[in-house]
Structure 1
């Protein structure tokens, strides 16, 4: 192992044993104190995992909050929350700012006292079927509209089958009142118990489907979990199943790329559009057999392997008689210069795309290979714990390994970012000179991080389980120092992207997830009893 490592983001230095005259124990204590001061403290996760078992508790938690504040029945509170997309703060804000009446009116909640069926005459005319119905076979909703149970049931069944279970409104003309879910459940279950269960399931899943702060985990096959956030939806989370994803777009975690950039990058990678463009310009279809023909000479008369000659410029079939300037019996109005310019530009675009894609893929492949280091490092730690009695704390090795994984992922996704940032996406936002300056600034930050990260990768592969205590101690200090440096360089790269690049755009809005030193946030399990 060479006695050198990256020291700072501004200059390269080398560790010299002769220059270090400090006591090793004091140096280690100072280093550990520094790292602890620089490392963010672990906080309680603001994201929650909602499993099938805890979904009901999570919904009841929000419903109970609204019930307690507004003194409402459960189904009234649920109706309000469904209307306001399960945003409790929004419900309470509208209540404070605009009053209770407007809050209820917009959501279809009716609080008026309604008549009892016992107070009705012995028979009531249903305004839907126009039949005289016994009073014990009709139902009154909160809005005081009365219809027969048969008509109500048919209405509910149609709405449930149409997927409108969450807000089934009264049948009366221009009535905005939402029907009592208990009445819906009772009438439908008498006709079709399975449909009543479907109704309850729709109400329950509304907490996820209609909630801006809750989304299903995009794992395949689906794990059955959902994730609930508390604040900004621009966050990357890890589900209990291990799936890491961007909460905003539900794609894989892709910072420092914005969601728009990542979406365009995926489309480009999937359809290989640059390769397709190159083929479309550099080859032509034979007008006879339709096979692709590539031009390998300067003459515009080309001949397919099937024997058909045709004009390269327009693709029309011709005879074989020609000169360098013209084809006998054929005239073509297209300019050769345009064709050559298109070809050169397509080649440049393909070369540029290949440059960024190859580096992105190389780091992704390295990340997969380095994942196998976990078992190797753990095996080395176990050996040291059993054979070296002076120290039992080797967490610095796993900390360095985790830092390597996080920085490797950031470097990998920085290449799709650079492809779009300095390509055609923001061409109108920057002059060529401005783009060159910004690109140099970004690439300097990127290369500094990449160099330090590769040195950290080299350190993690050291056979430290066979080192002497003195050499192991030296490696420990180096890895702690380098891990801290890599963390700082990751932060600087994110700040460069967020403030110096995306923050300077005038006509486009691209936001990225803020840098998290601890990596993608792991969602904690929700309490199935309290819903918190």
Structure 2
């Protein structure tokens, strides 16, 4: 622990340090720790169309196809341009198109013209050729049937991949044709269709997800590398990109799901009843013991032995119950002991989890207070003008407090019997748990120290004292970053 948690003497300041503070902030290792994380991009409502057009243009240029065909290919491949190109290189253009339901234009040129009086094979009516439409696949039907088909598919949520009406035809309908036919008499459906096509960039894209903020900020986040990461929207919401829950490192998504459910439901209330009560042998209602005597009475009037749960009479002494013996081992006692042990273990981790969660909520109010301190400091006649280190330190505090809180949920499952019972021996589990708890204690000590320093009234301090505090915050931020990465 001494390797990480420095004493107050470690922060001794002298005048020679002032010139090195800026260099320290620009130090390569510090910058690496500060910027370490996934490469992300916030997509607003205004930039959504531009982001989609960028991917469409890449496919159009590479494959020399029209926009609607590029969109069909990208939707099929969940907007993964690299994966689409890999299939193209490995299996060829024909396979790529056929798999996604894209038909080339050759049918329009090679097929004979539509006869003046055309019989639609859907409604079986004869219609003039001017009221028919042929798709890229070569199949032709009357406009009325096409429109009804489009409306049904859009209402069913299939607007992103509307297939041709011909039996066993896998081709996707030309989006330009869908727009044209719908806009004539059903403009609201055309708008709905356009909106679904636009939102498919997020709904079907494994690298883009909506921000889960409530109320919704309207933004989406795109990750460029690791999809199993935690991201932050420009609205301030931090969340897990994989499960869209709040950021929960070091817990896995499964751990956090189980922990959240455990804290939310009444399972631990049931455990408490199991540990501290026993069922009446007559009415089966739980009875709590409130005295030292092992003869207890239910409100229904039934007396029973607390040790074994068996029904008895009321005659007894402090040492025995008349006509009753319960020296034999009962399986229920084993179950109760196990439930008691599990409950105490859960309470140990939950109490510490909640303590740090409560601290996080209290410290969240620091932001407004610190902004006020910064404003006062900037108005002073001082050589110090840049106070970004305060906000950076506050961000470190919020992140590390959250990690510290969730580390108890992580430890509950990592070193328990629920998820990893067969993954390691008891000896291995003990060694790993001791190492983890040592790092956890180091992180806790440094987080508390950072929290205390940030609460200092630095707006009233001299410049020398402020520089000293800045150095302390920078040191602690570096230490805390390293410890968080190890959790």
TM-score band, normalised by shorter chain: 0.7 to 0.9
1:404 and 2:394 matched? no
**Alignment CA distance shift 1:467-1:12 (3 Å):** closer
Deviates more, 1:123-132 or 1:176-185: 123-132
1:156 and 2:150 matched? yes
**Alignment CA distance shift 1:102-1:309 (3 Å):** same
Shift of 1:285: 5.7
Deviates more, 1:457-466 or 1:109-118: 109-118
Partner of residue 16, structure 2: 26
Contact 1:302–1:312 (Cα < 8 Å) also in 2: yes
Partner of residue 330, structure 2: 337
RMSD: 3.3
Q: Deviations over 1:47-71 (max 9, x none)?
A: 2222223222222221121111111
**Counterparts of 1:151 and 1:336, CA distance in 2:** 78
Q: Structure 1 stretches of 5 or more lacking a match?
A: 1-5, 495-532
Contact 1:285–1:291 (Cα < 8 Å) also in 2: yes
Partner of residue 131, structure 1: 125
**Counterparts of 2:175 and 2:131, CA distance in 1:** 18
Q: Deviations over 1:445-470 (max 9, x none)?
A: 11112112222222222233333444
Counterparts of residues 338-487 of structure 1 (less than 5 Å): 338-424=331-417, 425-487=419-481
**Counterparts of 1:400 and 1:198, CA distance in 2:** 46
Q: Structure 2 stretches of 5 or more lacking a match?
A: none
Partner of residue 248, structure 1: 242
TM-score under structure 2 length normalisation: 0.87
Partner of residue 232, structure 1: 226
Contact 1:275–1:350 (Cα < 8 Å) also in 2: no
Partner of residue 70, structure 2: 77
**Alignment CA distance shift 1:166-1:250 (3 Å):** same
**Counterparts of 2:386 and 2:132, CA distance in 1:** 75
Partner of residue 197, structure 2: 203
**Counterparts of 1:453 and 1:431, CA distance in 2:** 32
Q: What SS class does the counterpart of residue 40 from structure 1 fall into?
A: helix
Partner of residue 107, structure 1: 100
Contact 2:40–2:222 (Cα < 8 Å) also in 1: yes
Shift of 1:86: 1.0
**Alignment CA distance shift 1:156-1:313 (3 Å):** farther
Shift of 1:325: 7.7
Q: What SS class does the counterpart of residue 301 from structure 2 fall into?
A: coil
Contact 1:301–1:327 (Cα < 8 Å) also in 2: no
Q: What SS class does the counterpart of residue 118 from structure 2 fall into?
A: strand
Q: Deviations over 1:51-99 (max 9, x none)?
A: 2232222222211211111111111111111111111111111111111
**Counterparts of 1:322 and 1:144, CA distance in 2:** 96
1:8 and 2:3 matched? yes
Instruction: Give the length in aligned residue pairs.
Output: 479
